[in-house]
Structures are given as C-alpha cells and as structure tokens.
Amino acid sequence: MKKMNVLFITTDQQQKSTIGCYGNNLIKTPSLDALAQSGITLNRAYCENPICIPSRNTMITGRKSIHHQATVHNSNLPENESCLGDYLKRKGYKTHFIGKPHFKSQEQEGTEESIQDWRNGAYDGWHGPYEGFETVDIILGHSNPLTGHYGDWMKTQHRDKINLFAEENLTPADVSCGQGVYLTKIPEEVHSSTYVGDKTTAFLKEMAQAETPFYCFCSFPDPHWPIMPPPSYYKMYENTTINTDYEPLENDPNLKNYPTVIKNYLKMGRMPDFDGGGHKVLADKDIEIITRAYWGTISLIDKNIGRIIKALDDEGLRENTLVIFTTDHGEYMGAHGMMAKGGVCWEEYINVPFIASLPGKIKRNTRGDGLFSFIDIVPTILDFLGIKEEEGLPALPYDGISQKSMIQGEKEALRTSLTVHHAKSVLNPSVSDQHILIRNDGWKLIYFAGEKGGQLYNLNQDPKETRNLYNLPEYSTMQQELTRELFDKLILESNKKPVIMKLKCNDKYSCHVMTRKVWGEELNPSLNRSDPVAEK
C-alpha cells in the first residue's frame, strides 16, 4: 500500500469570511469552494497564538508557543525543537517547503530568513535543510523581489520587472489607515502568488515520477499587508458593494472594564507600537477600498490553489493526498472599527479558515463545529498517516490531540475548550497587551496580565463581540468559572515533564536535534536502543 502524502497550504493573515464556503457570496474563490465541497470545512478552528512566527511554528511542531518558545515577532524556534518534517523524513518522506516560512526572524542577522544575510550573499546556492524540510524554496517578506529564492528567480528570469516593485511605480490608495494598499504595474506572471503556484505544481509533477511519499508545505505570503495585487485583481471588485457596518467600541456600555491596551487604542487611533497595526478605521471608504484590494489578492491565491489541485489530479496523486488549507491568523478588516491585526484576540483575528480533504476518507461537503486548535494539526496529520507511537513513546512531543475522528465525521466534538496565548509586544515591552484566553462552546474570556479589566463574551448571543461582560455582577459566576478553568489548564500544562532525546545522524539531513516529551514519567532506562538515544 502506498504511503499517504500531505499537502499543507497556508496563507498569511486571511480573515475566515473571505471565502465563499464560509458564507461570502461576493468574493470569487471557486477553487477553495471546490476543495470544501470535496471534504470538510471547520467552523471553529483557532490559531494558538495569532502572530506569524509563533503560529507557524505551532503548525510544524504541534506545540503551544509558550512551549516551543518562539512566542513573539522576531523570536526564533530553538534548535532542539522537533518538527513534523524531521520525523517524516525518517519515515521515508520527501519533505519540501515552498513560499513564505517565517519560522524565524527576518530582521535579525544569523538566521536562514535574515533579509540582510540574503542581501549579503550568505545563502547563495542554499536550498535547505530547514526546520524539518529537506529542501526549501522560500520567499522573504511581502512583495520583496530581491531576497530569498523568489528574489533569485526574479533576478535571473525577470530582471526587467524588478523595478515595477519600486516605490515610484506604486500608486498608493486613498486610505487613512492600514499598512499600505497599492495599485501596481506588477504582472500576474511574476507575482509571489503565481510563483508559489508554479513551484508547487512543478514539485508535484516531480513527485509523481519519483513515487516517493511527500509532505509539502505550500505557503502564500498574501493577503498580508502591503496589499499589492496585479492590476486586474486590484480592480476585480471595484463595482462590488462592500459592507461597512460595524459596532464602534465606544458604544459598549461596559467600556470602563476593558483592559488598558484597548483604552489606549481608542485614544491613539492604533494599538501602541504593536507589530501589525490594529489601526482605527477613520472612514467607511477606507474599508471599501482596502477590502476590494484584499479580496483581489485572495482571488489570485485561489486561482493558484486551483492550479495546484489540478496538478494533483493530473498526476494521479489526489486520491492518496491529504490536503489541508488554513492561514496563520486572521485580520480585522473593519470589524470593531479596526484594520490590520494585533493587540486583542477578537474572533476575526483568531478564528481562522480550515479545510481538509482526502477522497474516500473524509466525507464530501461536510461541516465541523467542534473546537479545533492549531496544536492539533501535527497529531491529526500523524493519525491520518497511521503514525501514533514508537516503542511506547509519542511520535512527536506535541501538545494537541488528534482530531481525525471529528474530521471524518465519527464524532461531533473532541474538545470542550481551548486556549489562545498572545505574548507581550516585542516593539514596546511597556505595553500591557499580554493576555491569554479560554474559549468553550459558547463563552470566551480574555485575561490580561496585571490588569483589572478584561473581556468576557457570550458568543451564542453576541457573536460579533459588541458587549463586554467582564466584571459585571450578573456574570461574575461565569467569569469565575472560566478563569478557574483557564488557570487549571495552565497549571496542569506546567507540570508536564520533558524528556530530551536525540536522533542518530544517519545522513546529512538527519542531524537535527529532536525533543521528545513523555508527560509525567521518566524515560524507561530499560529501553536499550541506539535510535533514539536518551540524553541525560
């Protein structure tokens, strides 16, 4: 029997409501809608930490950001962390990454994603290994044609188009918030989304000939800011009526019980010094203009996802490939009168799209309402691949649970609650925005460190989170119960006892230190084996 393949597709900063299968009948996403028709669409999937680097590292480790330690922007995954790709390589899989990784800082020198190091030629000719991927083809930053493998391709194949990315060839949109929306002259064939589509389809054709199982992580840099779709996609929705209705935060009668970071935001017009923005919307036209361009980038991504799925079909790989689509975190895009991201974990920021498809194994055109956390991605993939334990040890030291039975429709829900962690602002450590939340079937509590204020919402009655119930006497029992459950989870997780183990280096791609955890007990010393070897 052939081993199952995995194609993991992600975007960057995509709000869940920007896909037809999630109820948007205005946007054009036929490829993602078809993928949803072929499998399951999860309604309540949540990133574990809604910042790029921590979220993406959770995708490849299955661990909470406070455990893998890459908790904020500009942080790096420690070298001794084990990744899904490391493990699957040992199982005979070809592991390959295409697109934007953002597993490490792009601003710091000395990392494989350092933009400055790439400019200095430090990674000329390098194609991996990296974070469990044997080979990589990466894009750095957003709309940057000069670094990474995308930059190398632009310099050698489309040098005459590089200048189209320059400021003098970008026409800024007439908006007063956000982080840049531009009408460009960049042709579709050299756009980063097309590059990801080209490279992924080429990889799939190669793998069809190799007859080797693969784990391919395909990562589109868009629709993250700056928003710069090709001209035809920028104009695609110019005649579409955009809903600009939102409930201003100032209208909440319980404004006094919000945390300081939100009160400061209302005074300043943006989240103070927070990476990503959290800009206050100043005019309805801003929402209209930005949303149209944002949707355009998503429609271009969708076109390339269609090309990728067609390649799976054409190469005879579709029936044996688990396809997952998601994004690293969401985007406000006008909700709560905010634009961009950052600062507060409202649903638009943390509740993300998640689609899974596997012909014959996942029922067609189904919906899943169970709670799903990003820490569940790795164990769920391992379960689909039939990998659970080795010699009594978990395959990887993940924090999550397998949600295979929920995705296959055998169970409605496996989680009663989940947590989301938001680390302190790396750009301004004095900002009191560090918080953690718990979300159960109908309620959500956000606890801010060192604050008297917080957030509490009845999501069944108030799905748009317009009325904060925190510190209101009539909801004190619910607030106490959720706070107690939140801290119980934190305490129990802190008692998990790590066991560090190293993998024997069998070849040049296996020399990655891997960490295993066996909760609550030491490794049995009688397990006498050379791979893995217990490290004292």
Closest-CA residue to 378 (of 82, 45, 59): 59
Query: Mean pLDDT for each 10-residue chunk of the chain (536 residues)?
Result: 93 97 97 98 96 93 88 80 91 96 87 90 94 96 82 94 91 83 95 97 96 96 94 96 89 92 76 59 89 98 98 97 97 88 88 98 97 97 86 72 96 94 62 82 93 95 96 97 94 58 32 27 28 28
What is the pTM assigned to this prediction?
A: 0.90
Place of tokens 């070298």: 79
Contact partners, residue 182, CB within 8 Å, separation at least 6: 170, 171, 172, 173, 226, 227, 228
**306 CB burial (10 A radius; 0-12, 13-18, 19+):** middle
d(CA 452, CA 404): 40
Residue 182's closest CA among 149, 143, 228, 222?
Answer: 228
362 and 407 Cβ atoms separated by less than 8 Å = yes
Q: State residue 249's pLDDT score.
A: 86
**How many other CB atoms sit within 10 Å of the CB of residue 281?**
25
| Max Cα-Cα span within the chain | 70
CA-CA distance, 204 to 187, in Å (whole number)?
25
- Tell me the domains of the chain and their CATH numbers: 5-169+186-227+297-415 (3.40.720.10)
Give 96's strand partners: 135, 216
CA distance 196 to 203: 11
